[in-house]
Amino acid sequence: MIRENVQRLLHELPEGVTLLAAVKERSADEISQAIEAGVTVIGENYLQESLQVINEVKGEAQWHFIGHLQTNKVKRVVDIFDMIESVDSLKLAKEIARCSKRRDRIMSVLIEVNSGEENQKNGVAPRDVEQLIREISSLDYIKIMGLMTMGPRFGDAEESRPYFRKTRELFEKFKDFHLPNVEMKYLSMGMTNSYKVAIEEGANLVRIGTKIFGEREGSHN
Ligand SMILES: *Cc1c(COP(=O)(O)O)cnc(C)c1O
């Protein structure tokens, strides 16, 4: 099933839109199947989980960290991942820069926008995105490659549209800023129930789990 699901999605996505397989709670074997079917980007939420699977996964892919990241985990995440999509504070960015410098690499990151301005959600509020980007752009060893948002969860994807649109407007705005260490290339938004609307609103990286692997057993998402 994983193979068919991936191939259907790859066929369906417009050119220029990259499929990221969100693999929380999935086994190394499931992840390997997705890569074999054509997935090129894997998204992990938890460091611990990725350490359990990453060495057993077969095939080549980019690994993106898409979960909430605590500063004490940054060192390991920088060792393993190709991109961190969930940067939402200067403190976190500084730690990423510090660890990347020690490894003599430049870490690509996305800024996570709390587009719904929800109290308990991660991400930086839309009105604070500009300041955060300006501050991070002065750091070495870290490069901002775009924006990511989850948006509030709705049964009806149409309700997500204004939040995706707001994030897209920020994305376009910072494209024109030409700040050092900032290249607004990726707009990561849309999941299983909302990716179509997200693409209509300009997403070029969609993070899909359920539609590839089926329902998750656990309740966290
Ligand atoms: C789980 C998750 C997804 C994918 O969710 P589905 O509804 O299973 O497609 C995307 N992004 C993030 C950050 C996630 O945690």
Distance CA 126, CA 118 (A): 11
By CB atoms closer than 10 A (0-12, 13-18, 19+), residue 209 is buried
Cα radius of gyration (the chain): 16
Per-position DSSP letters for 104-139, written without gaps between them: T--EEEEEEE-TT--TT--SB-GGGHHHHHHHHHT-
By CB atoms closer than 10 A (0-12, 13-18, 19+), residue 56 is exposed
CA neighbor of 203 nearest in space, from 190, 191, 194: 190
In sequence order, the 6+-apart residues with CB closer than 8 A to the CB of 48 are: none
Cα of 91 from ligand 1 centre, angstroms? 25
For residue 216, the model assigns a pLDDT of 87
- Of ligand 1's listed atoms, the one at least distance from the Cα of 85 is 13
| Residue 22 near ligand 1, beta carbon < 6 Å | yes
Best mutation site among 18, 42, 66, 193 for ligand 1, i.e. most ligand atoms within 8 A of its Cβ? 66
Model's pTM, two decimal places? 0.96
Residues of the chain with pLDDT under 50: 219, 221
Distance CA 184, CA 186 (A): 6
Cα of 8 from ligand 1 centre, angstroms? 18
Return the residue whose CA atom lies nearest to atom 7 of ligand 1.
192
The helix/strand/coil state of 32 is helix
Which residues partner with 187 through β-bridges?
147
Q: Which domains does the chain have, with CATH numbers?
A: 2-213 (3.20.20.10)
| Residue 157 near ligand 1, beta carbon < 6 Å | no
Cα of 50 from ligand 1 centre, angstroms? 15
For residue 221, the model assigns a pLDDT of 47
For the chain, the first-to-last Cα distance in angstroms comes to 22
For residue 185, the model assigns a pLDDT of 98
CA neighbor of 64 nearest in space, from 40, 88, 87, 82: 82
The helix/strand/coil state of 210 is helix
Q: Alpha carbon of 110 to those of 74, 133, 182: distances in Å? A: 15, 10, 10
Cα of 168 from ligand 1 centre, angstroms? 19
18, 205 Cβ separation under 8 angstroms: yes
The amino acid occupying position 116 is G
